[in-house]
Structure 1
Amino acid sequence: MVKLDGYDFPDDMYFHKDHMWARVEGDKVKTGYNSWAAEAAGKLVSIKTRPAGKKVKAGKTLGSVESGKWVGSLKVPITGTIAEINPALKGSPSIINDSPYDTGWVALIEPSDLNADLAQLMKGDDSAALEAWLAEEKAKTE
């Protein structure tokens, strides 16, 4: 696992520049919001997503999250069809803050071109790419 400025980036995941992660699980891809973004946003109070069965395109909007101080888009990292939205988020969107890489996942996607999409993402064990990206993101908030 890569740890940068106290934030975890697990080796078995891929990371999208717009704060989403992707983990291949069999023939599907689980996605969620990364730990840095979850902390920067503050405690999440609302999440809205497109429903299961809808097609999504990498880099486009999957939904939105809202905290007491911020509203932002969730950009899906993988093109495909939404197989499932995490049902636990409906009553407790803040589980994304508490456990972004485990119980706080957002969507399960049936990918349509997995290899092409993964090639566009940062791998969790690529500390140089993640460090450069995180520095850019932190600079935007200062």
Structure 2
Amino acid sequence: MKFTADHEWIRIEGDLATVGITTHARDQLGDVVYVGLPEVGATVAQGDAISVVESVKAASDVYAPLSGEIVEINEALNGAPEQVSADPQGEGWFFKIRLSEPAQLEALLDEAAYQASVG
């Protein structure tokens, strides 16, 4: 698993990456009440704001951690955004992206570096 400084996590499986927000981000947001997901088929660049998560406290953008094409979204979040609150780094994933520039993985944080950045 890799992480961004913007509090997204990335799980790589071949040329696909599953993306969501970290437990730390969830803790800062509080109870999630809405998730706006990107369109399947959208081509995104690393750093693009492509999703939004709203909680009882705030609304925050979710950024593309890597460049590529959105190939799947977590449809379950449309009817149950609380899954993000319950399991942010598991069932509360947001989208899957097919990587177009795998070298971008080098710039992501490992878990120890991410924890140090938020600790």
The TM tier, using the shorter chain, reads over 0.9
Matches within 5 A, 1:1-142: 13-114=1-102, 116-124=103-111, 127=112, 129-135=113-119
**Contact kept in structure 2, 1:22 and 1:78, CA below 8 Å:** no
Q: Give how far 1:26 is off.
A: 2.6
What is the CA-CA distance between 1:102 and the residue it aligns to? 1.2
CA separation in 1, counterparts of 2:114 and 2:9? 12
Any unmatched runs of 5+ in structure 2?
Answer: none
In 2, distance between residues paired with 1:106 and 1:60?
Answer: 15
Q: Give 1:131 deviation, angstroms.
A: 3.5
Report the Cα offset of residue 98 of structure 1.
Answer: 0.8
Residue type of the partner of 1:29?
Answer: A
Give CA-to-partner distance per residue, 1:34-58, whole Å, 9 cap, x none: 0010111011101112210001111
Contact residue 4 and residue 114 of structure 2 kept, 8 A = no
Supply the distance in 1 between the matched residues of 2:39 and 2:27 (Cα, whole angstroms). Answer: 25
TM-score under structure 2 length normalisation:
0.94
* Deviation of the 1:19 alpha carbon: 0.7
Name structure 1 gaps, 5 residues minimum.
1-12, 136-142
For residue 58 of structure 1, give the secondary structure of its aligned residue in structure 2.
coil
Structure 2 partner of 1:140: none
Shift of 1:123: 1.3
CA RMSD between the two structures: 1.1
CA distance in 2, matches of 1:96, 1:53: 23
Q: What CA distance in whole angstroms lies between the structure 2 residues aligned with 1:14 and 1:99?
A: 17
Over 3 Å off, 4+ runs: none
How far is 1:17 from its partner?
0.6
Max Rg structure: 1
Q: How many residues align?
A: 119
